Amino acid sequence: MKIEQRMDVDLVWTDKAPKIEPTNILVYHQEEHGSATALAGKALLGKETPVAKVYSKLMSVPAINYMPSPMWPEYRIYETRSMDGQRWFVIRIPRCHPLEITMSERMNVNNWLYTYPIVRDIILILNQYGVRSLTYMTADLFSIHPEFKDYGSIKHGHLGVFNFNNINEEVLEYFGDKRSEHGSDFALAPNVWIWCNTFANFNPRGYAKVLLTASSPKFVDMDAADALLNYIQNQYHLPYDENILNQFASQLETAADMTYIKMDLEDEQDDDYDMTGWEV
């Protein structure tokens, strides 16, 4: 075990620190609506265990935890290899700083304050080990909200690919039918653009890319997950486990059905009393 510390981050390597070699980073937040990124991340990681865990006082962590299956507060870093042998660090973020879905500048004033220091320190630590590019996979989370109706939206089952190093390039490539659209602005969650902007400026090569899949009102959107996985496999040659993908999708569907649980209560309660059990 090795611990590396920066101003606001403690990074714990579960074994010894990795060797220095050309490395890419893939980042995702597992609680995005539609579960596309959670599904894609699970399929890519398979049964891999974390090679590092990241702790910070700035992370958003619930006060209450549970046994015998406690929630983990830390970011987790996994190591995997592409089919041509390239090393990838996959960063799995359990939760982000709370966000109000609004364009009002008076809201969400602390997102930068609580996100940037964590991102900066992680990037500075990983830079030492040969990191040269970062890809953030996310969903078009805001397009289904009325306040963002005038912004662009990704069609269901498609994928927008945005090069964060050329902000003036108004091109979105669609994986699948190869169409492109010009002139559309897409709203990005704070976590997405802060990771990409920081990496683009704090890494010697600084190549950052956003993979933007469609948002969905569904709890589990397999089409959006497939769009991410197909692009990642074809472009980055990263394999994924389809059996694990389907198993995890089934587990999430079951969890969605159990979001509100009808409880059998004692005789002193009314028969039609509905108690909320737990939320996923």
Q: What's the CA gap between 30 and 37, in Å, rounded?
A: 6
Q: Which of 111, 105, 92 is nearest to 38 (CA)?
A: 92
Q: Are 280 and 255 in contact (CB under 8 A)?
A: yes
CA distance 198 to 203: 8
Q: How far is CA 191 from the centre of its chain?
A: 9
Q: What is the pLDDT along the chain (280 residues), one digit of tens a residue?
A: 999 999 999 999 999 999 999 999 999 999 888 899 999 999 999 999 999 999 999 999 988 888 888 889 999 999 999 999 999 999 999 988 877 777 777 788 888 999 999 999 999 999 999 999 999 999 887 777 777 777 777 888 888 888 887 765 544 455 544 444 444 678 888 899 999 999 999 998 889 999 999 887 778 889 999 999 999 999 999 999 999 999 999 988 887 765 533 333 333 333 332 323 323 3
pLDDT of residue 195: 96
CA–CA–CA angle 80, 139, 248 (5° rounding): 55
What is the reported pLDDT for 62? 85
CA distance 2 to 11: 8
Rounded to whole angstroms, the Cα distance separating 63 from 9 reads 20
3-class SS string, 161-226:
EEECCCCCCCEEEECCCCCEEECCCCCCCHHHHHHHHHHHHHCCCCEEEEEEECCCCCCCCHHHHH
Distance, in Å, from the CA atom of 126 to the CA atom of 137, rounded to the nearest integer, reads 19
Are 121 and 197 within 8 A, CB to CB?
Answer: no
- Kindly give, in sequence order, each residue whose CB lies less than 8 Å from that of residue 257, ignoring residues fewer than 6 positions away: none
